[in-house]
Amino acid sequence: MPSQPILVPILGDQLSRNISSIRGRSKDDTVILMMEVWDEATYVKHHKQKIALIFSAMRHFAAELCDAGWDVEYVKLDDEGNSGSFTGELARAIERRDPRAIHVTEASEWRVQQAIEEWPDKFACAIELLPDDRFICSHSEFNDWAEGRKALTMEHFYREMRRKTGLLMDGDKPEGGDWNYDKDNREPPKGDMNVPPVPKFAPDEITSEVIALVEERFSDHFGNIEEFAWPVTSAEAQKAADAFFAQRIEKFGPYQDAMVHGSDDLYHSMLSTSINCGLLDPLDLCQRAEKAYKDGHAPINSVEGFIRQIIGWREYVRGFYWLFMPGLADANAMEANVPLPEFFWTGETDLRCLADSIRSTHNNAHAHHIQRLMVLGNFCLIAGINPRDVQDWYLAVYADAYEWVELPNVAGMILYADGGKLATKPYAASGNYINKMSDYCRECAYSPSKKSGEGACPFGPLYWHFIDRHRDTLSKNHRISRIYATWDRMGDEKKRDYLDHADNFLDSLTPASKGWAKETN
C-alpha cells in the first residue's frame, strides 16, 4: 500500500461493490472506511430491526470486501475512541492513514450531505464527491424535468424513465398499448389467498452478535427484534428476489392494494430494505420483472405496476426530496397540529385496521404500502396530526426508512403538507375504502356502515371533519371540490353529529410521549 492512499468512506446505505466511490478503484491504492456511529443510530430512535439490519449488512459487506483483498478499516459502535459521528471518524482515519484524497459517493440524505459538504473546510486533503448513480435519474435531470412545470405529475416523469431505460417499450410506444395498468390492480382480497411465504433468513454469527448489541444498547427503541429475518448480504437479498420473481410477481399487480388481517406481506416484494441499503440494484430488478413478462410468467399489469413503483415512484420521490429540501421537512400547509397519539407506539387501539398495521410495523419493521398510505397515513391526514410527529414516526419505525424516501411520501403523499406539490389532492378517505379493500372491518369494534353514534367507524366523522375544516382551500381544488355539494346537502343535525363525534374522538386521544421517537435529554 502506498504511503498516501485514497480513503473511501462507505455509508451504511451504500453497500454495493458497484458504488461510484469504489467502482474502477485499485485495491492497491485504496482504504475503505466503514463506521458504526452513534449519531446515525439515534438521530431518530430507529426500530431495533433497522439498526440490526444496517450494522449486520455493513459487517458482512466489510468481510466480503476484505475477503476480496480490499484494505478495510471498520469501526464498530463500541470500539474505543469511536467519536460517534461520520466527520469525527473520518478525522481519526485521516490521522491513522494520511490519505492524499477522500473519494465519497454523495449521501442519500440532506443531513449527512450537509456534513460531507463541510469536509473540504475541515480537512487538508482533497475531497472528491461522486454522484450516486444507483439512481436512474440524476439530480440535474430531475431538476430539468421539473423546471417550468405547473404540476410535477409522477405519471409524466415515469414515462420519461420508461423511455430512458427502454423498460416495457415497444419502439417508442408502451408495451401492450398502455403506459399504466393501475385500473387492473385494485382487486380486494378474496377467500384464502394462499400467498407463498417470503423467505426468512436466520441470523448467523455476525447478525446474532449485532442483535445482542442492539438489545443491550438500544433497549428503549421501538420494535421487536426476536423475529429478525431480513436478508443481510447481497446473496441473501438475491434469494429473496428469486423467490418474489418465481412465486409472487404474478399476483403483485391485482392485489397491490389489498389488505388482510395478520397477512403482512401478501404479494409485495419485501425488497425495499435490500434495495435502499445497496444489496440489490433497482434497475436489475426491473429488468428481471420485464423478463418475467416476456417469458410469460407474469401479466403486464403486475410487471408494469412493479416497474412503475421503482423507476416511477422511487426515482420521483428522490428527485422531489432534493428539489424541495430543506423546506420540505418543515412544511405544514394544512396547519395540522394534533400530536401523534400514543397508540402509534403501543398498538393499543380498538380500530382494528390501525392496530393490525401497527402490529406488523412493530413485529417486522415493515408494513405494506397500502397500510402505510390508506390506513396509517389516511388516519394522520384526516385526524390532523402534525407533520413533524408523523415524519419522525415513519422514519423511526420502518427498516427501509431513509429521509429521502420517507419524507416525500409523508409530507407530500399522505399529509398534503407540501400544499399539493406532489399530489394534486389529499388522499383522504372514510372507512368505506378500507372496508372495500380489506377484511379488517368484519371483526372490528366499529362499523363503517354506521354513520354516527356509538360503534360508528371513526374514519367517517374524521373524514367529514377534515373536509369541513379545510373548506377554504379544498373547495378551490377541482379534484375534490365536488364533495362540498354532498356535505352541504346533509342537514345541520347530521353535520353537527359528525363534527361532534370527530371532536370527541380527537379529545379522547392520548398524545405520545416525546421519548419514543427522539432522545429527550
Residues of the shown chain interacting with ligand SF4 in the complex, contacts defined by CB under 6 A: 351-353, 431, 434-435, 440-441, 444, 446-448, 457, 459
Using CB under 6 A as the binding rule, whether residue 321 contacts ligand FAD is answered as no
SS3 416: coil
What is the rounded distance in angstroms from the CA atom of residue 235 to the CA atom of residue 253? Answer: 26
Q: How many residues bind ligand FAD (CB under 6 A)?
A: 28
Using CB under 6 A as the binding rule, whether residue 397 contacts ligand FAD is answered as no
CB of 123 to ligand FAD, least distance (A): 32
CB nearer to ligand FAD: give 341 or 377: 377
Using CB under 6 A as the binding rule, whether residue 181 contacts ligand FAD is answered as no
Footprint of ligand DLZ on 397-426 (CB under 6 A): 402
353 binds, among ligand FAD, ligand DLZ, ligand SF4, none (CB under 5 to 8 A by kind): ligand SF4
435 binds, among ligand DLZ, ligand FAD, ligand SF4, none (CB under 5 to 8 A by kind): ligand SF4
Alpha helices in 372-479 (DSSP H): 378-383, 387-397, 403-407, 431-437, 459-469, 471-474
How would DSSP label each residue in 485-505?
HHHHHS-HHHHHHHHHHHHHH
Using CB under 6 A as the binding rule, whether residue 7 contacts ligand FAD is answered as no
11 binds, among ligand FAD, ligand SF4, ligand DLZ, none (CB under 5 to 8 A by kind): ligand DLZ
CB nearer to ligand DLZ: give 303 or 329: 329
Q: Pick one of 162, 372, 421, 501: the residue that binds ligand FAD (CB under 6 A).
A: 372
Footprint of ligand DLZ on 7-26 (CB under 6 A): 11-13
CB of 447 to ligand SF4, least distance (A): 6
Question: 173 has which bridge partners?
Answer: 170
Angle between helices 315-324 and 154-165 (to 10 degrees): 120
**Tally: H helices and E strands in the chain:** 25, 7
Using CB under 6 A as the binding rule, whether residue 270 contacts ligand FAD is answered as yes
Q: 414 near 378, Cβ under 8 Å?
A: yes
Footprint of ligand DLZ on 447-466 (CB under 6 A): none
Q: Pick one of 6, 19, 32, 35: the residue that binds ligand DLZ (CB under 6 A).
A: 35
Using CB under 6 A as the binding rule, whether residue 112 contacts ligand DLZ is answered as yes
> β-pairing, 173-174 with 169-170?
antiparallel
What is the rounded distance in angstroms from the CA atom of residue 303 to the CA atom of residue 211? Answer: 36
Q: Pick one of 20, 272, 430, 435: the residue that binds ligand FAD (CB under 6 A).
A: 272
CB of 402 to ligand FAD, least distance (A): 6
Close Cβ partners of 258 (under 8 Å, ≥ 6 residues apart): 187, 188, 189, 193, 266, 370, 437, 438
Give burial (CB, 10 Å; 0-12/13-18/19+) of 495.
middle
> β-pairing, 101-105 with 71-75?
unpaired
What is the rounded distance in angstroms from the CA atom of residue 484 to the CA atom of residue 486? Answer: 5
CB nearer to ligand DLZ: give 11 or 417: 11
Q: 498 near 464, Cβ under 8 Å?
A: yes
Alpha helices in 295-445 (DSSP H): 300-307, 315-324, 343-346, 352-364, 369-370, 378-383, 387-397, 403-407, 431-437
Q: Pick one of 16, 36, 47, 309: the residue that binds ligand DLZ (CB under 6 A).
A: 36
Give burial (CB, 10 Å; 0-12/13-18/19+) of 152.
buried
Using CB under 6 A as the binding rule, whether residue 401 contacts ligand FAD is answered as yes
Q: How many residues bind ligand DLZ (CB under 6 A)?
A: 16
CB nearer to ligand DLZ: give 160 or 209: 209
Using CB under 6 A as the binding rule, whether residue 251 contacts ligand FAD is answered as no
Q: Which residues bind ligand FAD (CB under 6 A)?
A: 268-272, 275-276, 306, 309-310, 313-314, 317, 368-369, 372-373, 377, 394, 398, 400-401, 405-406, 409-410, 413-414
